[in-house]
A and B are shown apart, each in its own frame.
Chain A
C-alpha cells in the first residue's frame, strides 16, 4: 500500500523536479521545502494538474499516469486543498459546499457532518468575499471533504493566513488529519505546522529529495543542507506534564528530565514533539544553578561534526533521542569536548518561541 511518484519534469531545459518516491499510503506525509524546491509541483503531479507524459504516479497499484496513460484530475480519487482555498466567488458558502458532485469512489463526509465539524452554520449564506482568510480556508477544507477521495492533498493550507488565524486553524487541522483515517500529503515550508502530526517526512530541495524518513530521523544531519527558512534543528519527543497558568509555561518530560515551554500545550495531546534549533542550544560541563536558562538536559556527546567557518555541529544523545547543537570551534576547544563526554544542553525557553515559524507549536 503506497503512493509511487517518479520521473523528471523539466521546463525550459531546467529540472524542476527529479524524484523517485515511495510514500506510505497511510498516515500523514509532510513534504517540506523552501519556495522553489518543487514541493507544490510534486503535489500538482499527484493531482494530475501537471507532469503529463514525464512523471509516473500510482496509488496502491492503480496507475494514475505514466509514459503512455493519464487519468485526468477529475477522475482521480483524491482531494486537494489549494493555497488560497479557491472558493467559487459567485456562490455562497452553502453552494460552494454542495459543489462536489461526482461518481468517483472513495471516502467523503456529508454536508451536515462538515458544517457541524467546522462550525460553518452562521456562514452558510455568506459569499466568500465576506469571509476572513481563516473562514475561507475552513470552508475550503470542508468542501474538499465532500468529494470522494482515497488520498488527501494539502498545499500550504495555512500559508495565506495571518498569525492569529493561523494559530486558530493549525490545531484544528492537525486534529482533522489525525481523525480522518485517510492518507494525507501535507505540503508546507513551515515545519512547525506538521511537526506534531507527520508520520513520514520528505524534504525537497531544488527539485530533488534531500532526505526522507520519520521527522526525528530527517531533522538530524540536515542542518547544513537546508535553506535558512526551514532550519529543522533537532526534534525531541516528550510527554506533556502540566500547565502553569501563572507563568504561562507548560512542563513537559523528556524521559525523567523536566523541560519548560511557553504557552499552554495541553490541547496537543500527551505525546508532543518539540523542535529545537541547533542555534538555540548552549553546552555546559556542569549543571548551572545561578542562571536564567530553565531547560538543562543531561546528554552524552555522540558525534562532533567537521568545523565549518568557525562553528561546529555537535550531536547529543538525550535519553535515547538525538539533538544537535551548533557551537563555535573556540568553545569546543576551551571545554575540550569529545565524543562520549557527559554535558548539559542549555535551552532558553524563549529561544523556542521567538521565531515565527515555531509560533504555533509553542504558543497555542
Chain B
C-alpha cells in the first residue's frame, strides 16, 4: 500500500469515525424521549410517527438522499435555514452529512430503545411517582438508568450503522476528501479504479467494525439487567 493510499484510508477513516460519533451523540440525546413516547403513548399519532421514523429502514437510501439533497440545496428549506443561521451552504458539507445520518440511523437507535422501554413496569413508575418524582424526573432518574444496557446497545448500533452508510452520503455528501469522503465511498472509488489491494483493506476494516459493533450490542443486551 502506497503512502498516498494510506493517507486516503486514514483520512476517510477519520471522516467516518467523526461522522459516526457526532451522529451517535445527537441520536442519544434526541431518541430517548421519542422512543419513550413511541413505547408508551396511546395517541392516534403514534402509528404514523412510528412509520415515519422507521421509513429509512425500508426506503432505498438514494430516495432519502434525493429528497434531502433537494431540501439542503440553496433554495431548499433546510439549505435556506442553514444559510440564514451560518451563512454557509449545507449540501456537500460535513454538517449536511450529519443531518442525513441522524435521519438515516434514527430507527436503528429508536427501535431497540422503544422495545426495551415497553418492558418498563408500571409498578416501578408508580412507586417513583409516590416517592415524589415528576414524570420528567422519573424518566431521567428511573427509566434511563433501568434501560442503560439498551441505551449502550442502541448507541453502538447507531454508530455502526452510520459507519456503513453509503447511498445517502453519495447523494448529499459527494466525495470530498477530508470533508465528506467516508470509508464506504473510498471503497467504491478503489473498486472503480480497480485497486483491489487497497479495497481489500478498506472492506476488511468496515467488516471488522460491523462485527465488533454487533458483538458488543448482543453481549450487552443478553447480560442480566
A positions within 8 Å CB-CB of B:
47-49, 72-74, 76, 78-80, 82, 84, 86, 88-91, 99-104, 143-144, 147-148
Interface residue B64 (Cβ < 8 Å from any Cβ of A): no
Contacting chain A: which of B47-55, B120-128, B159-167, B188-196?
A: B120-128
Residues from chain B with a CB closer than 8 A to the CB of A48 are 129
Residues 184 to 225 of chain B near chain A (Cβ within 8 Å):
225
CB distance from A129 to the nearest CB of B (A): 9
Measured in the bound complex, the distance between the Cα atoms of B121 and A79 in whole Å is 19
- Take A74-B129, A102-B133, A147-B132 as given contacts and tell me if A84 and B123 are in contact as well, using a CB distance cutoff of 8 Å: yes
Residues from chain B with a CB closer than 8 A to the CB of A144 are 130-131
- Map CB proximity to A onto B140-155 as digits: 1 under 8 Å, 0 otherwise: 0110011010000000
- Take A88-B146, A90-B146, A90-B225 as given contacts and tell me if A74 and B133 are in contact as well, using a CB distance cutoff of 8 Å: yes
Interface residue B134 (Cβ < 8 Å from any Cβ of A): yes
Residues from chain B with a CB closer than 8 A to the CB of A86 are 121, 123-124, 126-127
CB distance from B215 to the nearest CB of A (A): 24
A-B CB contact pairs (8 Å), 12 listed: A47-B130, A48-B129, A49-B126, A73-B129, A74-B132, A78-B130, A82-B126, A101-B132, A102-B132, A143-B131, A144-B130, A147-B130
- Map CB proximity to A onto B99-137 as digits: 1 under 8 Å, 0 otherwise: 000000000000000000000010110111111111001
The reply to whether A99 and B131 form a contact with Cβ atoms under 8 Å apart is yes
- How would you classify the secondary structure of chain B's contact residues: helix, strand, loop or mixed? helix
CB distance from A47 to the nearest CB of B (A): 6
Measured in the bound complex, the distance between the Cα atoms of B134 and A178 in whole Å is 31
Interface size class on chain B is 10 to 19
B positions within 8 Å CB-CB of A:
121, 123-124, 126-134, 137, 141-142, 145-146, 148, 225
The reply to whether A88 and B124 form a contact with Cβ atoms under 8 Å apart is yes
Measured in the bound complex, the distance between the Cα atoms of B131 and A91 in whole Å is 15
Residues from chain B with a CB closer than 8 A to the CB of A147 are 130-132
Measured in the bound complex, the distance between the Cα atoms of B128 and A49 in whole Å is 12
Measured in the bound complex, the distance between the Cα atoms of B121 and A89 in whole Å is 11
Measured in the bound complex, the distance between the Cα atoms of B133 and A86 in whole Å is 15
- How would you classify the secondary structure of chain A's contact residues: helix, strand, loop or mixed? loop
Residues from chain A with a CB closer than 8 A to the CB of B123 are 82, 84, 86
CB distance from B151 to the nearest CB of A (A): 12
Smallest CB-CB separation from A77: which chain B residue?
B132
Residues from chain B with a CB closer than 8 A to the CB of A79 are 130-131
Smallest CB-CB separation from A99: which chain B residue?
B131
The reply to whether B145 and A90 form a contact with Cβ atoms under 8 Å apart is yes
The reply to whether A72 and B134 form a contact with Cβ atoms under 8 Å apart is yes
> Which of A49, A89, A90, A100 is in CB contact (< 8 Å) with B131?
A100
CB distance from A105 to the nearest CB of B (A): 11
The 7 closest A-B pairs by CB, nearest first: A102-B132, A86-B127, A73-B129, A80-B130, A100-B131, A147-B131, A86-B123
Measured in the bound complex, the distance between the Cα atoms of B141 and A247 in whole Å is 55
CB distance from B90 to the nearest CB of A (A): 41
In the complex, which of the residues B130, B133, B142, B225 has the most CB atoms of chain A within 10 Å of its own CB atom? B130
In the complex, which of the residues A48, A79, A90 has the most CB atoms of chain B within 10 Å of its own CB atom? A90
In the complex, which of the residues A48, A72, A86, A144 has the most CB atoms of chain B within 10 Å of its own CB atom? A86
| A80-B130, A104-B132 known, 11 other contacts, Cβ within 8 Å | A72-B134, A74-B130, A74-B131, A74-B133, A74-B137, A76-B130, A86-B123, A90-B146, A99-B128, A144-B131, A148-B132
Measured in the bound complex, the distance between the Cα atoms of B129 and A79 in whole Å is 10
Residues from chain B with a CB closer than 8 A to the CB of A104 are 132
Residues from chain B with a CB closer than 8 A to the CB of A99 are 128, 131, 141
Smallest CB-CB separation from B224: which chain A residue?
A129
The reply to whether B132 and A100 form a contact with Cβ atoms under 8 Å apart is yes
Residues from chain A with a CB closer than 8 A to the CB of B137 are 74
Measured in the bound complex, the distance between the Cα atoms of B130 and A69 in whole Å is 18
Smallest CB-CB separation from B124: which chain A residue?
A86
Smallest CB-CB separation from B122: which chain A residue?
A49
Residues from chain A with a CB closer than 8 A to the CB of B146 are 88-90
Measured in the bound complex, the distance between the Cα atoms of B124 and A66 in whole Å is 26
Smallest CB-CB separation from A87: which chain B residue?
B127
Residues from chain B with a CB closer than 8 A to the CB of A78 are 130
Residues from chain A with a CB closer than 8 A to the CB of B134 are 72, 74
Residues from chain B with a CB closer than 8 A to the CB of A84 are 123
